[in-house]
């Protein structure tokens, strides 16, 4: 679920904002923002299906003349009425372009779920009697049973280590895979070399500190880091990354990538990873 929207600093001086203000007063632009906030949480695709004029004005917290807000937004192309064979509906102007993060929230959540299932072997599959090796272990602390008969060892690709990391290393990698998929909107495939990077970093700082530095890099809009946000880059930039701001920490909590206030990472992280899987 989305917890915010993108609002450009030019919004107050945009010609449409000024015209909406002239027609409806200060409540006009404020109600427009309220509508965007409602859409981010309830209609992330920007399509106000199932909502008539009254519903839209209620969502916008409009208290003026009935129908005036929707009429003004239609006139200024802040809202569009879409005709279809079944029933007409309204849509917010250029919602996908202006709020891509909110628009892609459902797809991002689905990709994260599939990535977690794929990575941790949670997807139920039909057993293959000819499979050459056992699947990777999940986050459980219980030891994996030995297969009978013991299969012959086979070579694995560098992107899939033969054994999952353990302890803090396993916890961090599980968190990283989840965080990357939610923030970058794509799955992450870790290499054996990167797993060693994590082990080295954890020997120098605690799990909580490493998660904070990694989150800072993932949230960064620095052009230098764009397209390069991997664990190798984290290892090379670890001493250059600042601490998380309060706003960034709140955003991580909204995405369930940081523990709630009053709860430690040690207690929260295992439960979060299990829920993600």
**CA-to-CA dists, residue 54 to 4, 181, 254, angstroms:** 24, 38, 30
Give me the residue spans of the domains in the chain.
11-99, 105-122+158-276
Residues 6+ apart with CB under 8 A from 64: 24, 25, 27
> Which stretch of 19-23, 238-242, 262-266 has the lowest confidence by average pLDDT?
262-266
Give the global pTM: 0.44
Tens digit of each residue's pLDDT (9 = 90 or more) over 24-46: 999 999 999 999 999 998 998 99
d(CA 179, CA 211): 10
- Across the beta sheet with 47-48, the strand order is 47-48, 89-92, 79-82
CATH topology (fold) of 11-99: Arc Repressor Mutant, subunit A (1.10.10)
Q: How confident is the model at residue 228 (pLDDT cuts 50, 70, 90)?
A: confident
d(CA 210, CA 145): 32
| Cβ neighbours, 10 Å, residue 40 | 22
DSSP class per residue in 22-36: HHH-THHHHHHHHHH
* Residue among 120, 166, 142 at smallest CA distance from 273: 120
d(CA 239, CA 217): 11
Whether the per-residue pLDDT at 156 is higher than 50: the answer is no
Burial class (CB in 10 A: 0-12, 13-18, 19+), 61: middle
Most confident of 13-22, 76-85, 174-183, 250-259: 13-22
């Amino acid at each position: 679920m989305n917890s915010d929207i993108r609002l450009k600093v030019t919004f107050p001086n945009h010609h449409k904002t000024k015209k909406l203000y002239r027609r409806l007063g200060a409540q006009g632009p404020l109600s427009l923002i309220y509508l965007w906030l409602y859409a981010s949480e309830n209609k992330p695709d920007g399509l106000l299906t199932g909502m008539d004029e009254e519903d839209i004005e209620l969502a916008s917290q409009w208290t003026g003349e009935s129908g005036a807000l929707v009429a003004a937004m239609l006139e200024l192309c802040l809202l569009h009425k879409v005709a279809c064979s079944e029933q007409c509906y309204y849509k917010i102007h250029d919602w996908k372009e202006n709020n891509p993060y909110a628009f892609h929230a459902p797809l991002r959540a689905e990709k994260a779920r599939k990535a977690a299932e794929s990575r941790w072997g949670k997807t139920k599959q039909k057993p293959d009697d000819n499979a050459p090796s056992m699947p990777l272990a999940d986050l459980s602390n219980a030891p994996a049973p030995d297969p009978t008969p013991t299969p012959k060892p086979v070579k694995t690709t560098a992107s899939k280590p033969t054994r999952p990391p353990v302890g803090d290393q396993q916890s961090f990698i599980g968190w990283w895979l989840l965080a990357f998929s939610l923030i970058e909107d794509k799955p992450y495939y870790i290499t054996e070399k990167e797993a060693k990077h994590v082990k080295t970093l954890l020997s120098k700082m605690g799990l909580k500190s490493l998660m904070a530095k990694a989150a800072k890099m993932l949230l960064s809009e620095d052009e230098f880091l764009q397209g390069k946000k991997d664990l190798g880059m984290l290892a090379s930039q670890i001493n250059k990354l600042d601490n998380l701001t309060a706003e960034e920490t709140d955003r991580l909590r909204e995405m369930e990538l940081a523990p709630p206030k009053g709860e430690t990472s040690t207690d929260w992280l295992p439960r979060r990873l299990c829920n993600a899987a």
